[in-house]
Structure 1
Amino acid sequence: MSGQQPGRAGNPQVFQPLAADDPTTVAGYRLAAKLGAGGMGKVYLSYTPGGRPVAIKVIRPEFGEDPEFRRRFAQEVQSAQRVQGLFTAPVIDADTDGAQPWLATAYVPGPSLADAVVAHGALPVEAVLLLIAGMAEALHVIHGAGIVHRDLKPSNVLLAADGPRVIDFGIAYAADATSLTGSGVTIGTPSFMAPEQAAGRKVTPATDIFALGQVAAYAATGTPAFGEGTSHGVLYRIVHEQPDLSGVPERLTELVTRCLAKDPEARPTIAEVIRLCQTANAETVLRRPEDWLPSSVAADITVRAAAPAPVQTPPPPAAAPAVAYSPTAPVAPATPPPGFGPPQQQPVQPPVQRPGTPVPPAQQPPRPYPAPPAHAHAYAPTPFPAHQHQQQHPQPYPGAPVPPKSGGKRGVFIALAAAVIFTVAGSATAYVLQKDDGQQKQGSGGSAQGAEQGKGNDTTAAGGAAAGSAKPNAKADPKPADFKAINLTAGYHLTLGDDDVRPQQGEDGGYELSYDTGGYLDAETSEGNLVLLDPGQEGSLAVCRAETRFAKNIYLTKLAKGRQICVSTGTGHMGLVTVQGFSPEGSPSEYMTLDVTVWRNAVGTGSGSRS
């Protein structure tokens, strides 16, 4: 059983926006788009809390009102959750008792066989053989769970990059229990029924073998084996006439003919179906290449892989802090790591006392507290009511009485503390700007640098102001260097700083990216990181800078053709790795084919960086 039926055949809109009558959530799953609708209900795209896309089928309310349907539906869901085949979409969640039953399966980014044939025509023989062999494996685990599919048809077979996926197994059995199927609601498809189904006789696993033969004929010719037309006419031909196999390629004739035997006992077993596929392919073992589908169909897979992003729950409104920020307890501004944080801005200069005219601290009038600009950093202190009062009611002369609302000596003390904070913040900002100009130094030398910058001024404060007035010098983003079709063998590594990025032997030696013989990509340098981008997420320098889902290694089991990985190195380079393929079975060496884009010295530079 599965819930995914992505639209009708020929419908170019894969992800349909939710309509007014569509729910926005189902049992906590936030719905991102509608995938399609059928006789049993509607199918929606959602995501698990971990970010994996799922297809959620919401059963029509009419079926939910039938107690026998609910009983059978619960039974089939329970059985379907035991089906864990490579060529099925697993059922991961369901509710059979709620007001409106539903079930969730893993989302398969691929068109249905019906969509693919309508849009691009019949499949080549090699693709049909791989299709039928994969479907046979799916039926093996479905039948092993005690389920007969009953509705195996092209729209219930999805074409993924690594093989077909059989979906919606067992739902037709639950639908048979309701009287709605006899009052205008169509569940099965007459063109792909078996004779015993059409005649109302007992349904067995051999029923699915008959449907398998029909699917093979349809995939190879683009038309059903028993033709099209009214339901009664098609069902009559299925029961009493022979199929039209004139357009079926010769290599598929024996397979299709045996599957379409009228007598269920004469049909081949699943093991025999797989052997017939192997014989037609002149191979004892079928090998499924990554490009097993025509390029036009593979392009449809790419479209469906770019699923809409999960719907984000709006964050709650920010509450005011329980304790107001106190300038008497300053917090040192944090310096973001290179490549992250807000962009550099012109620092705010603290007020500077003119040299030569010192005023004793006890008699200093409070300095006006400057309001922060709109682009101030998050850590910049904000004005306080006490400061505002001091600006409105300054002390007219040393020793003069202060109006009661100014806070007296306490207000003067707060003003002095605020001035000290701004002086410290100015020095810290100047240090960050000097760091951007390439003058990086270790330790806490920010004050020394400020004094060095302000050489020739009379006071340390003036030196700090001179350093603070230095204009930021953001470097432009580095140009990308592209390296195509790199075959990275297990046990070899890449160094992104090399002029010619090419595999070099060795691993675990402080390199920047290696293909470990343990079956994973490894960020070798101590400060290096990897980020596996989501399917459909387009990699770029800006994306790689923004991503923080860091990992030290990524196993090949998580990778497929088209997946992208951001690489940041301890030497300041950034790279984008695009997986283009893996070594074929039987190859004397184990390797990955990669496209690599490198931005050298990209960490902490560029107009888009935020260092």
Structure 2
Amino acid sequence: MSSELAAAGFFQPLGADDPQMVAGYRIAARLGSGGMGKVYLSHTPGGRPVAIKVIRQEFADDPEFRHRFKQEVVSAQRVQGLFTAPVIDADADGPVPWLATAYVPGPTVAAAVAEHGPLPARTVLMLVAGIAEALQVIHGAGIVHRDLKPSNVLLASDGPRVIDFGIARAADATSLTASGVAIGTPSFMAPEQAAGGRIGAATDVFALGQVAVYAASGAPAYGEGPSHGVLYRIVHEEPDLSGLPAELRPLVERCLVKVPAERASLTEILELCRAAADQTQLRRQEDWLPSGLAAGITSRQGVVPGPVAAPGAPVPTPAAAGGPVPTAPAHQLPPMPAGLPTQAGVAHQPTAPAHPAVHAASAPGVPAVPAQSPAFNAPYQNPYPPTGAYRAPTPAPYFPTPPPPPKRNRSAIVLGAIFGSLVLLLGGCAALANVIGKGNDDRRSASSGSTAPQGGGGAASARPSTDPTPASYPGFEFPAGYHIKLGDDPLTPHDSNYDDLYLSCGGSSIGCTFGSYGTRLVLLDSAEKGSLKTCREVTRFTTQIKVETLSKGAEICMRTKSGNVGLILFKGMSAQDDPSVHAKVDVTVWRGGLAPQDK
């Protein structure tokens, strides 16, 4: 690997915390990292380079993220456009989720602008047209990108490639977005994202306009600075287009319309690109990029690291050059301790993890770790039996011979027989009364129409015999810093810290969070209908949901420790100029909707 190119950030050497292998893909170099995880260079068995994105461990530990990640990967695999990097492999169930896409030997728009400055107008027109075509395919698969920005668009010699489409949605409803893990870039959000509105295809169009401004001027359309200030400008102010070439203005202005329904469609964007280029057809020539940028891509193509050799292949060591012989890495298994007992004459051997998806990296110059090494970021498991594991065979239990029973006299036997007869008589009377009472209960149940299960322990006894009548609270204004208790009628905000649901905000509607200390929260998918049945059955529990991830109409199920069930219908946040920061929601409550064993 060229040290100059490595220093330039093209291909970074693996560090001590980087994996050596991801589910059979041997890692050759690190390509970069972001809020979702790290990206590595690997190869298919046929030698084609691929980019492997390994999701951060914090997300891997979140069940809601895994659920959504799996859904988004399935959708992303249907996207096969000319200007997208297709998803060719993935695993959402392994120790660490990952996905593999086709490797694109080119920089991101962000990196290209940082190194070469703003791009010429002709290049920007080709860039916007290519991204628009990519979005047509992505939206056609039912996906909204949600995080289109300069670092998610790669530049290749034959056009742009859009990456990471749909993956940001996997993190939208996880508790991690409330704990400092930023998903999405405020400078490239749409007004409806910043205000907690409904996200759709038009959201990506707004982001496309911002990417165009950044590529042509080298600066975001709404400036830089603290995220809350940028988001406020996106919602309430006009963009700064002073550095934009005149031929790009009509295109960008149509993309950056505040109202989603009034923005340009992707078809209109392509027509505007053709008109600005003064051509009936957009001809993407090989020299669509500036010469310096194109030369860098050519250089990168010539130095892509080759596939990593399989374990067991000869590996040069520093000793061959007269240097010290390296010691085994810390994570390598120690030798088998002497004297350990064996089973059936076979020494105990460490077993491979159930899913050896990711393997820890070796130190430079050390042969590859065998496949049975512990999984990357997986908890350590001792491969050897614990001290004292061997136990001598347990002797047969000793049962002493019982002494002979004492002799009983005849009068005691007679009295015992009389007493037993009385017990049987009383028991029979009780049983008869129970049968009569049960028959009366059955008749009463039949006459009232009740379907309550008889007896206990069955699945039907896990909830009340009849569904409770729902209590509705439409148009409820939930103030920030307050809590609600579903048992209240009417629903009333409290300043207690131990109620069923709270709304926490950092002084504005940006950065608000619905949360609870004990209530189980579930953000329903768009395909799930909010109802008592749904809220009883869903189990993707969390304790925090970021408001900025919610669109209007989003539904949240609540299951409290006291057995109440709630459904929150999110309708939006208060206006920026409102002195009271609050959420507007419709609340439905089924009090006693869960039996004690369901809580």
Tell me the TM-score normalized by structure 1. Answer: 0.50
Supply the distance in 2 between the matched residues of 1:11 and 1:254 (Cα, whole angstroms). 40
CA drift at 1:304: 2.5
CA drift at 1:11: 8.0
Partner of 1:222: 218
CA drift at 1:179: 1.4
Could you say which structure has the greater relative contact order, defined with CA pairs below 8 angstroms and 6 or more residues apart?
A: 2
Moved more, 306-315 or 288-297: 306-315
Specify the SS of the correspondent of 2:90.
strand
Q: Counterpart amino acid of 2:260?
A: P
Supply the distance in 1 between the matched residues of 2:34 and 2:212 (Cα, whole angstroms). 23
Supply the distance in 2 between the matched residues of 1:99 and 1:224 (Cα, whole angstroms). 38
CA drift at 1:309: 1.3
Partner of 1:102: 98
Of the candidates 303, 307, 318, which is equivalent to residue 310 of structure 1? 307
Of the candidates 24, 48, 51, which is equivalent to residue 52 of structure 1? 48
Partner of 1:233: 229
Of the candidates 2, 10, 13, which is equivalent to residue 14 of structure 1? 10
Partner of 2:134: 138
Supply the distance in 2 between the matched residues of 1:139 and 1:307 (Cα, whole angstroms). 29
Supply the distance in 1 between the matched residues of 2:15 and 2:313 (Cα, whole angstroms). 26
Moved more, 10-19 or 99-108: 10-19
CA drift at 1:64: 1.1
CA drift at 1:67: 1.1
Partner of 1:161: 157
- Say whether the 8 Å CA contact 1:111–1:304 is kept in structure 2: no
Supply the distance in 2 between the matched residues of 1:199 and 1:12 (Cα, whole angstroms). 39
Which residues of structure 1 form unaligned runs of 5+? 1-9, 318-611
Partner of 1:282: 278
Q: Deviations over 1:402-434 (max 9, x none)?
A: xxxxxxxxxxxxxxxxxxxxxxxxxxxxxxxxx
Specify the SS of the correspondent of 2:38.
strand
Query: 1:262 aligned to 2:258?
Result: yes
Correspondences of 1:363-512 after superposition (within 5 Å) = none
Identity %: 72
- Say whether the 8 Å CA contact 1:190–1:231 is kept in structure 2: yes
Supply the distance in 2 between the matched residues of 1:214 and 1:168 (Cα, whole angstroms). 17
- Say whether the 8 Å CA contact 1:36–1:44 is kept in structure 2: yes
CA drift at 1:66: 1.1
Q: Counterpart amino acid of 2:231?
A: L
Specify the SS of the correspondent of 1:85.
coil
CA drift at 1:314: 4.6
CA drift at 1:288: 0.6
Correspondences of 1:34-183 after superposition (within 5 Å) = 34-183=30-179
Partner of 1:321: none
Supply the distance in 1 between the matched residues of 2:36 and 2:198 (Cα, whole angstroms). 23
Supply the distance in 2 between the matched residues of 1:121 and 1:84 (Cα, whole angstroms). 31
Q: Which runs of 4+ in 1 moved over 2 A?
A: 314-317
Specify the SS of the correspondent of 1:92.
strand
Specify the SS of the correspondent of 1:24.
strand
Specify the SS of the correspondent of 2:297.
helix
- What's the Cα RMSD here? 1.3
Partner of 2:445: none
Supply the distance in 2 between the matched residues of 1:75 and 1:181 (Cα, whole angstroms). 19
CA drift at 1:128: 0.5
Tell me the TM-score normalized by structure 2. Answer: 0.51
Q: Deviations over 1:75-114 (max 9, x none)?
A: 0000000000000000000001111000000000000000
CA drift at 1:12: 2.2
How many pairs align? 308
Q: Counterpart amino acid of 1:158?
A: L
Q: Deviations over 1:304-340 (max 9, x none)?
A: 21211111115569xxxxxxxxxxxxxxxxxxxxxxx
Supply the distance in 1 between the matched residues of 2:229 and 2:7 (Cα, whole angstroms). 27
Q: Deviations over 1:526-567 (max 9, x none)?
A: xxxxxxxxxxxxxxxxxxxxxxxxxxxxxxxxxxxxxxxxxx
- Say whether the 8 Å CA contact 1:24–1:30 is kept in structure 2: yes
